[in-house]
Amino acid sequence: MKKLVQLTLFTVIAFCSFSQYQIGHTTITFNDPARTGGFGSGGGSGRQIQTEIYYPATTAGENTAVASGDFPIIVFGHGFAMSWDAYTNIWEHYASKGYILAFPRTEGTLFPAPSHGDFGLDINVVEARMQAEDVLATSLFYQKINGNSALMGHSMGGGATVLAASTNTSIKAVVGLAPAETNPSAIAAAANVTVPAIIFSGGQDSVTPPDEHHIPIYDGLSSACKTFVNIVGGAHCYFANTNFNCDFGEATTSTGISITRAEQQTRTYSILDSWLAYQLKNDNAAWTTFQTSLNASPSTLITETTCSFAGLAEGSDVEIMLSPNPTNSIISFVNESNENIEISILNASGQLLAKKDVQNQVDFTQFKSGIYFLQMKGKTYKIIKE
């Protein structure tokens, strides 16, 4: 790993946690017909993958309506012998900020030992099936998903997330919270991960020591934009809420933890919030905030990043109004410069279908009905072709 630079910070950034949305919850059991086992029932034949889903809602509660708008997906992998409810802090923070979070509940037992490979496959199944909910007319999430997904995980789930990301070509980003080496190897699989990635590490973590787990995974990533954040004095379990199994393991191994659980989570959010907003919500202003957070965070951090912070293209922070959308033919937009704009059209899996210069119209006539993504001037727009 490149030499880490310790940043002694002189300014405290006030961390804002105002909730923009109420939080709804639903449970869906997905299935993988190619495998057996899992956890849950009612998902059909094959492997059962019961998934707890938290989302921006019009009112808090069970199966309440999703809030107005469309939102990114975050699929979260839990740690070894930890249940999804240990991560209440994660879903309360990010669902309120406009993300849909899905927590697969498989591979949560001590005995038999969890299968890391199956857990990685489960994470990918949930990501694909959640994206499919956007076009399922009977789904709670019908036309509520913006097409962008990230995989996030803690400890064992962080390693399984890397396994999943190494074969998933549709995701936009990967987040590891003290990711653990797995079997098959997350360190080896990291070489096949090319999307933007960010790895968080607790400096006093002796459950998954950074030199043996987090750093080799980070070093192995092939991502052109990757960031490593070591929270000085931080713990392994503090990325989650109190959990007996994790806390017991840490109490017998880790020493020198010098910050509280709340402080560690706040420091994580102070960097991750803007990073996710840029990667999943195409918020260019958030990229500047992310850059600032690495240099003026609320405590002493050790950080490294390979990401470029070159200036954004002129006008890239301006939202372009496209109409009509949905469309059955041509979408128009206002282009005050009257100069050609390079656009890219991608399918729902993120595969590039066309790249060309246009002035104020994009022709979708040749494409069949479905969801597409139009990229121009640094932003991505979801297009529904009727």
Q: How far is CA 116 from CA 107, 122, 152, in A?
A: 8, 10, 15
197/167 Cα distance (integer angstroms): 15
Beta-strand pair 361-363/379-385: unpaired
For residue 40, what pLDDT is reported? 95
Q: In CATH, what number does 5-305 get?
A: 3.40.50.1820
For the chain, the distance separating the N- and C-terminal CA atoms, rounded to the nearest angstrom, is 49
For residue 319, what pLDDT is reported? 53
Q: Is 212 left (phi over 0), alpha (psi -120 to 50) or beta?
A: alpha
The string over 47-66, giving b where at least 16 C-beta atoms fall within 10 Å of a residue's C-beta and e elsewhere, is: bbbbbbbbbbbeeeeeebeb
Residue 290: name the closest of 198, 193, 152, 190 by CA.
Answer: 198
For residue 341, what pLDDT is reported? 85
342/367 Cα distance (integer angstroms): 19
Q: How far is CA 57 from CA 85, 101, 142, 169, 325, in A?
A: 19, 12, 13, 29, 24
Beta-strand pair 361-363/100-104: unpaired
Domain ranges of the chain: 5-305, 330-385
Which residues on neighbouring strands pair with residue 301, listed in sequence order?
A: 7, 231
For residue 314, what pLDDT is reported? 37
Tokens of 47: 């492997």
Element (H, E) at 276: helix 261-281
Tokens of 139: 């789904």
Question: Angle CA(348)–CA(353)–CA(355) in degrees, nearest 5?
Answer: 125
What tens-digit pLDDT sequence spans the chain (386 residues)? Answer: 544 443 333 333 333 434 599 999 999 999 999 999 999 998 888 999 999 999 999 999 999 999 999 999 999 999 999 999 999 999 999 999 999 999 999 999 999 999 999 999 999 999 999 999 999 999 999 999 999 999 999 999 999 999 999 999 999 999 999 999 999 999 999 999 999 999 999 989 999 999 899 999 999 999 999 999 989 899 999 999 999 999 999 999 999 999 999 999 999 999 999 999 999 999 989 998 998 888 765 445 777 888 877 543 333 444 577 888 888 889 888 887 778 888 888 765 455 788 888 888 899 998 888 767 777 776 667 788 88
For residue 300, what pLDDT is reported? 59
Tokens of 277: 């907003």
